[in-house]
Structure 1
């Protein structure tokens, strides 16, 4: 089975998971959010991650897509250290710069794509979602329509 793990500072990952539940429903049972909350130390977060990994008891053949807010940030590096100790890192792809489009693409594609294909699709959709919204200015003639 494949799993999506969201990792972030603050409540960002929890917020994305909540939004995913609106779009993907039952698929989010394969999605987890781990957050380093304000006021928590890296040691506190490491304890939280270790407890999470112990509770989940992932299987040998499970694969993982990990989305993080920032590559190199302490939530991700702490998570990956614990994850690696459990022997799971080689079964994962890790992406940074998480946004909702990436997460949505990942969750709806978990069962139909390899983790490598999924990573490529999530990155592509994440990039496409980043743009400026242009507000068009109405002319005086258009105001009368």
Structure 2
């Protein structure tokens, strides 16, 4: 099976999973979310992450989305995925947002490798934009 793993600082990953369920409720059995909680150590997070992925086997595949590339949650998750023999086949992306998670959960079983990444990253990037409200100006303003 292929799993989507969300890792973050704080409850961001868990909140994102909750929001993701609004769009892909039927796929939540393959989504795992965990975060490094404020005041907890990396060792605490490692223990929680090990527990969260305990059912995964070397035959499973994972897509990992993280809030920050190089952050403790991601680097710790990678270390543990390596221990379980899952890192070499993993796809790992940082800077997660809801559009990225939606595309990932929908495409993880359809695309692999570069094709998967090329489908997901543009969706994540396209979501980053300023929202401007256009006001209607009436012609009477010119008088």
TM-score of the two chains, using structure 2 as the length reference: 0.91
2:11 maps to 11
The secondary structure found in structure 2 opposite 1:66 is strand
2:96 pairs, out of 95, 98, 101, with 98
Alignment CA distance shift 1:59-1:50 (3 Å): closer
Alignment CA distance shift 1:141-1:48 (3 Å): same
2:38 maps to 38
Q: Which digits, 9 at most, give the CA deviation of each residue in 1:51-91, with x for residues without a partner?
A: 2232x1x2333211100000000111111111111111001
Separation in 2, partners of 1:93, 1:20: 19
Separation in 2, partners of 1:67, 1:17: 11
2:47 maps to 47
State whether structure 2 residue 62 is matched by structure 1 residue 64.
Answer: yes
Structure 1 residue runs of 5 or longer lacking an equivalent are none
Aligned length: 141
The secondary structure found in structure 2 opposite 1:6 is strand
2:115 maps to 117
Separation in 2, partners of 1:88, 1:26: 24
**RMSD of aligned C-alpha atoms?**
1.7
Segments ≥4 residues shifted beyond 6 Å: none
The secondary structure found in structure 1 opposite 2:78 is helix
Please state how far the C-alpha of 1:142 moved relative to its aligned partner. 8.7
Please state how far the C-alpha of 1:119 moved relative to its aligned partner. 2.0
State whether structure 2 residue 2 is matched by structure 1 residue 2.
Answer: yes
TM-score of the two chains, using structure 1 as the length reference: 0.90
Name whichever structure is richer in helix by fraction.
Answer: 1
